[in-house]
Amino acid sequence: MRRNAFRHVLLTSSAVLLGALLLPSAARADSIDGDWCSPEGRHLTIRGQSIKTPGGASIMGNYSRHAFSYVVPDPEPGGGGTVFMSLMNETTVQVRDGTPVALPVIWKRCENIT
């Protein structure tokens, strides 16, 4: 009976240790930073607080690990309006123009940027 209890504790401890080792790498994988492509072929790049907009402007925005917003530069379509982005998962972001509750457009991580 004692041997079974020891085996149970050993197996449980191993499972907990394995889970703890896998969790941090998964948590670090999701971030809004990177290259994003719209269904219409537009592209933007986020690096921390810096963004290269679909119109090619390099500006600063409001960054958090899972969200980003910026004011569209005047020469671009929608200039003066705000774009809100929310990370849904590692490969998908919801983009809303004008207000955080606007109808979202789903953008995906870009596979190849030319």
The Cβ of residue 87 has, within 10 Å, a number of other Cβ atoms equal to 21
Domain co-membership, 79 together with 61: yes
Token readout for 114 is: 């030319």
| Dist. CA 23–CA 37, nearest whole Å | 28
Considering the chain, what is the average pLDDT of its residues? 81
> Which stretch of DSSP H or E encloses residue 7?
helix 2-29
Domain co-membership, 35 together with 73: yes
Give the strands of the sheet with 43-47, arranged side by side. Answer: 58-60, 50-52, 43-47, 34-37, 105-109, 92-97, 82-89, 67-71, 62-64
Range of the domain at 84: 31-109
- How much is the pLDDT for 94? 96
Token readout for 105 is: 């457009």
User: If pLDDT is split at 50, 70 and 90, which confidence band does 18 have?
Assistant: very low
User: What is the identity of the amino acid at 110?
Assistant: C
**Cα separation of the two ends of the chain:** 66
Domain co-membership, 23 together with 37: no
- How much is the pLDDT for 25? 34
How many angstroms separate the Cα of 52 from the Cα of each of 17, 47, 79, 84? Answer: 41, 9, 14, 15
pLDDT in tens, 33-74: 999 999 999 999 999 999 999 999 999 999 999 999 999 999
Q: 87, 32 in Cβ contact below 8 A?
A: yes
Domain co-membership, 9 together with 50: no
